[in-house]
Amino acid sequence: MNIIKEVKRARKGNKASFEMLIREYKTTMYRVSKTILKQEEDCADAIQEAILKAFHSIKTLKEPKYFKTWLLRIVMNECYTIIRKQKKVIQLDQVPESSSLEEGYSKIETKELLYSLSEEDASVLKLFYIKDLPIKEIAEVMDIPENTLKTKLRRAKKRAQLQVKEEGLQWKSGNNS
């Protein structure tokens, strides 16, 4: 599929082209939303709203080659809107059960660590270390220069390590960038 050609058709009102584009990026949209949101229902809501907004505003997209970045930015904004609307309460049914006790503690400690950080720090760390997205792609999605992202990542990592020291947790990033 020629993405640029399909974006140009979608901008002219071709619904089939827009649907093809959404199908092309549905997995990426889900991965990004799941990185930010915890609940499947919230991810589905964010993606649905993002698709609607993208459909209604695709004519405003100036450069077809940036469709993916533009779409993922809309998804991220919808995720943050959902977070702002929710109360910051962690319910017991949201903590996953694990068959391995140590693995379970590790997951819970990681979740606790991410909850203790700012939304931005947690998102940057999740996208890079957990979802394994490259710096270039994260920078495009967040609409910031790569060097700025590297700085944000380094600072978030330092804050996370400080938090770990204060709480006495064992956490290693797996990557010393």
Long-range Cβ contact pairs of 169-175 (< 8 A, separation 24 or more): 169/109, 169/112, 169/113, 170/109, 171/109, 171/110, 171/113, 173/125, 173/129, 174/129, 175/128, 175/129
pLDDT digits (tens, 9 = 90+) for 40-74: 999 999 999 999 999 999 999 989 999 999 999 99
Q: What pLDDT score was predicted for residue 141?
A: 80
> What does pTM read for this prediction?
0.56
**What is the CATH number that goes with domain 3-85?**
1.10.1740.10
Greater model confidence, 116 or 9: 9
Q: Please indicate whether the domains covering 3-85 and 100-167 agree at the CATH topology level.
A: no
Q: Which of 100, 102, 130, 104 is nearest to 38 (CA)?
A: 130
Question: What is the chain's mean pLDDT, rounded?
Answer: 81
Q: Is residue 130 a contact partner of residue 141, using CB atoms and an 8 Å limit? A: no
pLDDT digits (tens, 9 = 90+) for 6-40: 999 999 999 999 999 999 999 999 999 998 898 89
Domain boundaries, the chain: 3-85, 100-167
Q: What pLDDT score was predicted for residue 168?
A: 61
pLDDT digits (tens, 9 = 90+) for 69-111: 999 999 999 998 888 877 544 443 444 444 443 444 455 567 7
Question: What is the CATH T-level fold of the domain 100-167, as seen in this structure?
Answer: Arc Repressor Mutant, subunit A (1.10.10)
